[in-house]
Amino acid sequence: MNLAGTGLVLGAALSVQFGSAVATLLFPRAGAAGIVALRLALAAIVLLAVCRPRLRGLRRGDWLVAAGFGVAMAGMNGLFYQAIDRIPLGPAVTLEVLGPLTLAVVTARRRSGWLWAGLALTGVLLLGYQGFDSLTAAGTAFALGAGAMWAAYIVFSARAGRRFPKADGLALALAAGALLTLPFGIADAGAALLNPATLALGAVVALLSSVLPYTMELLALRRLPTSTFAVLMSLGPAIAALAGFLILDQRLSPPELLAVALVVAASAGAVRTPPPPVTASSAPPPVTAATRFR
């Protein structure tokens, strides 16, 4: 059981929830596209300054992984914000989590992995079932697209963690994501992005929703199998429900209590399941001068 990896995932989920609470204050100021652009741009500035990734010596494959990672982050955030602008948050999160859980099933090398993914899916569906009657075709499509990008984010995060030292790959990916989203953010929010209050709130959101969770998730994927990590992603909706109960005094119905229990049980089972033995075909590539820690 990898307690360090699990702790990193939990820390990332908690950070995202606090970041989401602050992000709600930005919607009237900058709009969905503006928030995504501001988040990624400020997060990229912070990580580029901290990591100062070395660009010389990178191979074509390294650049492709960083670019794919950035596209996945931009798509995951942009599509999700477009989804919750059209449909309720509960079903939007439920549909989005289908991406990581599908990835967990595809990458699981043991039948028990399918069981944990199925339990997590059942729990997430119970958490988000209210509001399904108000779904729209556009909102559903955006949420499912965000889920697909979330699965791609997990895959590219794992690859970046193997190819780049420390958080260098994440810094480059955030820069790529910011370049992709800034034109849409500027078109949507314009000069509002430069408002001091908007910039201050954006910096908090960038730290809590991008810098901290993405770094912790990258480090977690160096310790956990992809299938296990993908199941642990279902803890996000459960943590949100518990936070509403503990902090906002929002009551949990019996189906929601059962949902939280199922997600927690699935996550615990996924973490406790031993990884499959490493074979010559599944072993990671050897560390080279381009990928070793400096």
Structure pTM?
0.80
Tell me the residue length of the chain: 294
Residue of 214, 162, 157, 188 lying closest to 42 (CA atoms):
214
List phi, psi (to 5°) of 174. -65, -40
Q: What is the mean pLDDT of each run of 10 residues along the chain (294 residues)?
A: 82 83 80 90 95 91 96 93 79 81 80 79 73 79 93 94 92 96 91 90 92 93 87 76 64 74 76 57 38 28
- Give start and end residues of each alpha helix (H) in the chain: 3-23, 27-51, 60-84, 89-107, 111-128, 137-163, 168-189, 196-206, 212-221, 226-232, 235-246, 254-272
Residue of 204, 214, 147, 138 lying closest to 175 (CA atoms):
214
Q: What is the pLDDT of residue 1?
A: 53
Residue of 108, 84, 101, 223 lying closest to 151 (CA atoms):
101
Q: What is the pLDDT of residue 294?
A: 28
The total of other beta-carbon atoms located within 10 Å of residue 31's CB is 21
Q: What is the pLDDT of residue 183?
A: 94
Q: Are 192 and 28 a contacting pair, CB within 8 Å? A: no
Q: What is the pLDDT of residue 153?
A: 95
